[in-house]
A and B are shown apart, each in its own frame.
Chain A
Amino acid sequence: MKLLLGILLGVFFGFALYHAQAAKPQKIYGMLQLKDLELMKIIFFAIGFGSVLLAISAKTGLLNLEHLSVKTMHLGVIIGGLIFGIGFGLGGTCPGTCVTAIGTKGGAKRGLSVVLGGISGAFVFLCCKNMLTALGLFDTWNIGKITLFHISDTYVSLLPFRYGGLLIMGLLFMAIAWILPENQSAKERSFS
């Protein structure tokens, strides 16, 4: 049953990423070069919209709070993020979008190449894991699973606000998405 859900939700997520054009390296380069911010608008809005839905569904009891999953903050998040940024800027893709690209015509070979590189990267990580742990990468600045707002008793929050705070953050994200400049090269969209 859970596997079936996994298939359906994975198809939906891949479909949504495809429609956001996130699987196109040109769109990610455009966003990172700050020339075409459509993808940034979409991502900001989607995250904000997700927060609003999360806040409402948590408040009304629709959401099982055990489904929430907040990741630990430690030095590795920063170092890992910086390394991730090299790959993100270089390839114009990320772990989710390269997998998605495999399903598209014209993007499959590139997507598969990124996946192969990714498996190698994860392999090297596994081999260095003990060394990185010994270096204290995961213990330094480890402040645990911290959230901005009090979304569940499992996590410590920075601010005293609950779902109202998260709702306002979500609306703020949606507003930022709204304000960000529209794609100037709208004509190119039909072409691409």
Chain B
Amino acid sequence: MKNWMKKAILLGLSFWIALVLVKPVGVSTEFEVVAELLKNALTGQPLENPISYGMVFVLAMPVGAWLGNRYDRKKEKTALAEEPFSRKEFALAFCSGFFLLLGARIAGGCTSGHMMSGMMQGSVSGFIFAAAVFLVAIPVATFRKK
């Protein structure tokens, strides 16, 4: 089997197992939970317990990546050079995150919730969201300065 297909089957399985056991995968809601917590803390309102299924799901994602990454690095035995991370890059990453979550919360979901889980269920909003995202992202990525 081709390499890309193995990766795709793994990813598809992760969508489906989450759906069968609990609910479709989704990430951006948890950003709003954190922002809500922050807002309440700033305005002195009572804080709600943010720990939920969705929150631990998102917090566990880097652990999965770390496991895969560690295995790969052991196998290849090549030390990855630490990428330099300048202030400019920080600004770019921060802005990108800002637009991503502002947009995702207005739309009611992100790549995982709308695009992957949504389209998998044949949801109309998932298809429309994906079309809107690529309509802008393709020219932005193409004309973005390297």
Contact = CB atoms under 8 A, between A and B. Distances in A.
Residue from A3, A15, A79 with most neighbouring chain B CB atoms (10 Å): A15
Interface of A: 2-3, 5-21, 23, 28-29, 32-34, 38, 41-51, 53-54, 57, 62-64, 67-74, 76-107, 109-111, 113-127, 132, 137, 143, 145-149, 151, 158, 165-166, 169-170, 173, 177, 182-183
B56 A18 contact: no
Contact of A148 (B7, B58, B105, B122): B122
A102 B85 contact: no
Nearest to B109: A71
Contacts of B125: 70-74, 77, 145-146
Interface string B9-49: 11111111111111111011001101110110000000000
Given A10-B61, A125-B106, A147 B122 contact: yes
Residue from A3, A43, A46 with most neighbouring chain B CB atoms (10 Å): A46
Contacts of A93: 93, 96-97, 100
Interface of B: 4-5, 7-25, 27-28, 31-32, 34-36, 38-39, 51-69, 73, 80-83, 85, 89-90, 92-142, 144
A183 B133 CA distance: 23
Contacts of B10: 15-16, 19-20
A3 B49 CA distance: 14
Contacts, number: 471
B100 A12 contact: no
Q: Which secondary structure characterizes the binding site on chain B?
A: helix
Given A42-B11, A54-B121, A95-B31, A123 B99 contact: no
A127 B29 CA distance: 15
A94 B113 CA distance: 11
Contacts of B32: 122, 125-126
Contacts of B129: 77-78, 80-81, 84
Given A91-B97, A101-B65, A81 B7 contact: no
B65 A15 contact: yes
Given A9-B57, A16-B14, A119-B38, A87 B62 contact: no
21 contacts: A2-B22, A2-B53, A6-B22, A6-B52, A12-B64, A18-B65, A32-B134, A69-B121, A71-B126, A76-B107, A78-B132, A83-B103, A84-B110, A85-B103, A86-B96, A93-B96, A100-B61, A103-B62, A110-B85, A119-B101, A120-B35
A47 B12 CA distance: 6
Q: Which secondary structure characterizes the binding site on chain A?
A: helix
A18 B97 contact: no
Given A81-B132, A106-B81, A121-B103, 18 more contacts: A5-B53, A6-B60, A9-B21, A15-B14, A43-B115, A46-B11, A47-B119, A48-B12, A49-B8, A71-B118, A73-B125, A81-B133, A82-B135, A85-B140, A89-B142, A95-B100, A104-B66, A123-B35
